[in-house]
A and B are shown apart, each in its own frame.
Chain A
Amino acid sequence: MDVSDILASNAATQKLTAVEKEIPLQVDAGLLTVTDLNPVDKESYDANTEDYLLSTARDGVQTLFAALAAFPTVSSPYGALTQLPPPTTELPRAKPLPKPKPPTKWEQFAKAKGIQKKRKDRKVWDEEKQDWVNRWGRDGKNKEGEDAWLSEVKQGADVDHDPAQELRTARKARVAKNERQQLQNNARAQGSSQAPEREQRKMEIDRTLATTRVSTASMGRFDRQLDGEKKIRGVKRKFEPNERSVEEEKKNSLSIISKLESDTKRAKKEKGGGDDVVNVRKAIRNASGGKGSAALSRGSSGKGKGTKGKGKR
């Protein structure tokens, strides 16, 4: 039997499975990605682009399979599964890292005291029944005594004393307490992110209170003070240093100028472009001695019936 042909064909396929390039290909098995950093061969690219692309891709995939063959496999009902390493190429995540859950009050305490968490079994041994019973739930150990057909009543107990009911209410109270603590823990966990909002609301209320306190005719001077009412503090004056950098000075001056500009613009808008050299209201107040424009017109034209209507501007 001549096997040289078979051997030769085998050798040919084995040659095809081995890919040799100038720069070895980079394989990221975790992402099933292979990167070929060899420069493009211009001659074969120009001769037949599609064939060239196909052959480089084949080389790449062959290298990828060679790399994958080196990883350990586990068997599964569908065949051997190749275990892939984690990807080496760092790609941006789609969402931020999950935030760790804030510890509950008990967890904080346990950490401070160095208490290790112990897992409780669901079943406990019952000496009387000589059997394993549920710790809680149906026929649970925590309901022990609630369905006793006979229970001891202490001397001098109330007439309507019901030991079974008492045990039940105590158990219900424990459950309620636990639920309350859970809610508190949840609130505390949420509160850590919502604290600023609460602070904001507090500041808003303080500001409103301060405004109302100075909103009376006497600006709060003759108002009755309440016990524990704080004194309103004004804004403290700040003094800039005399020597400053040129840029800062320039910025400051520019901001003042722009403020002035916007002021004049606003004034013009309000008056519709009238001359704003004389403050008319102030002038009238000064001329009439604070009595108003009507009194001014009356005073200038004297008393008389006929002139009454004329004085109006």
Chain B
Amino acid sequence: MLRTVKPKNARSKRALEAREPKEVEGPRTALFVKGTHTGDVVNNAMKDLMALKRPDAIAFSKKNPVHPFDDAASLEFWAQKNDASMFLIGQSTKKRPNGLVFARMFDYKVLDMCEVGVENFVGMGSFKGPKSTPGHTPALHFASDLFDTHPRLAHLKSLLLSFFAAPSVDALHLPGLEHVISVSLGPTPLSTSTTPEDDVAHLPKVHLRTYAISQTPSGTRTPLITLRPMGPHMDLTLRRAVPPSSNPHLLNLAMKRPKLVKKEVEKGLGKKRKNVEVDEMGDVRGRIHVGAQELGALKGKRVKALRDGEEESEEGESDGEEERPQRKRRR
């Protein structure tokens, strides 16, 4: 546990304030950590993923004896020290060659982890053509029905989304959408529904591909899209995992949403619009405030039948009318 520091000057105070929790969070900072042994494949894979993740990425240059599934203490320490909330740990062992571990943190504690093995790695350098600008948000593409149905793959999708997606982007310059990270699966074997969750050997391979997007005008509002391989390309096999459901308390806290934002969303793109709201059916409902109606000044039709004893009734009514508005004013 790091000691808590009290800021002594304005700069350190600003730096500490930047670390404080925010209602709407920006992209997660990822730490790239190498284990005791990393092969060529893992090194290159981490380098290329780092190029995609930049500038929200910090790489450790030295090797570290880290075993995230046995002891996550050092992850928690690094997360706090660097204010990072994602980890990519590369390690290659005899038992688990070319492994990458994606770890997601909440409040500097490990929320969930997923280990994948890298195969058929093709780096960015092997593809000709321009690469995406560092810092540009990628589009993400997931293709398979298993991403919705199989818990392990849904978990992987969630982790990759946390890793690459930028949730705080509220406006986008469309020509700036330069690359897409596509995650697709091989053909679904018939037995996935019957095999238990942890049996990952029967799951199809995960293909992670990165393509550069080129847009040409098509005559409609939507441009015509063509893709060109940009790299990195790799095939992933699922290995060990710590699902987020393993610590439900943390997950509960992590899934809490600020109330204010939800209200703003319902009222339409974050703008404050008075007296207009969208109800459960999606209908826009407005409220109109009508000014005070002066019933005393109202002139009805004088009917012949009421003319008899006009004076009496008028006196009585006028008394009542004088009193009523006064009472209102007092309230």
Contact = CB atoms under 8 A, between A and B. Distances in A.
Interface of A: 10, 13-14, 16-17, 30-40, 42, 45-46, 49-50, 53-54, 56-58, 60-62, 64-66, 68-69, 74, 76, 78-87, 89-98
A250 to B, nearest CB: 30
A290 to B, nearest CB: 55
Nearest to A95: B21
A38 B28 CA distance: 30
A10 B217 CA distance: 10
A172 to B, nearest CB: 25
A78 B104 CA distance: 35
B141 A60 contact: yes
B220 A39 contact: no
B143 A60 contact: yes
Contact of B221 (A69, A90, A97): A69
B69 to A, nearest CB: 19
Nearest to B184: A53
A78 B174 CA distance: 11
Contacts of A56: 141, 143, 182, 184
Nearest to A35: B142
Contact of A85 (B21, B104, B269): B269
19 contacts: A32-B140, A33-B140, A36-B142, A36-B144, A37-B147, A40-B187, A46-B187, A49-B207, A54-B229, A56-B182, A58-B226, A61-B180, A79-B173, A84-B170, A87-B167, A91-B165, A92-B251, A92-B255, A93-B25
Contacts, number: 204
A35 B28 CA distance: 21
A198 to B, nearest CB: 18
A65 B25 contact: no
B258 to A, nearest CB: 6
Given A86-B261, A98-B23, A81 B171 contact: yes
Contact of B106 (A34, A60, A92): A92
Interface of B: 20-23, 25, 28, 85, 104-107, 111, 137-145, 147-148, 157-158, 161-162, 165-167, 169-175, 177, 180, 182, 184-188, 204, 207, 209, 211, 213, 215, 218-227, 229, 244, 251, 253-258, 261, 265, 269
Contacts of B170: 83-84, 86
B113 to A, nearest CB: 13
Contacts of B257: 90
Nearest to B148: A37
Contacts of B207: 49, 53
Nearest to B108: A95
Central interface residue in B143, B166, B207, B229, by most chain A CB within 10 Å: B143
Contact of B145 (A32, A38, A42, A80): A38
Give 5 closest A-B pairs by Cβ, nearest first: A92-B254, A94-B85, A95-B21, A57-B182, A36-B143
A76 B172 CA distance: 11
A93 B20 CA distance: 13
Contacts of A82: 171-174
B147 A17 contact: no
A86 B211 contact: no
A96 B21 contact: yes
A93 B106 contact: yes
B306 to A, nearest CB: 47
Contacts of B162: 91-92
B185 A91 contact: no
Given A36-B143, A40-B186, A17 B255 contact: no
Contacts of B173: 76, 78-82
A65 to B, nearest CB: 5
Given A32-B139, A58-B227, A95 B215 contact: no
A74 B171 contact: yes
A13 B218 CA distance: 6
B225 to A, nearest CB: 5
A10 B148 CA distance: 37
B36 to A, nearest CB: 28
A98 B22 contact: yes
Contact of B182 (A31, A60, A90, A96): A60
B165 A61 contact: no
A102 B261 CA distance: 21
Contact of B265 (A37, A42, A86): A86
Given A37-B148, A53-B209, A65-B174, 9 more contacts: A31-B165, A33-B142, A36-B184, A50-B229, A68-B172, A78-B173, A82-B172, A84-B169, A92-B158
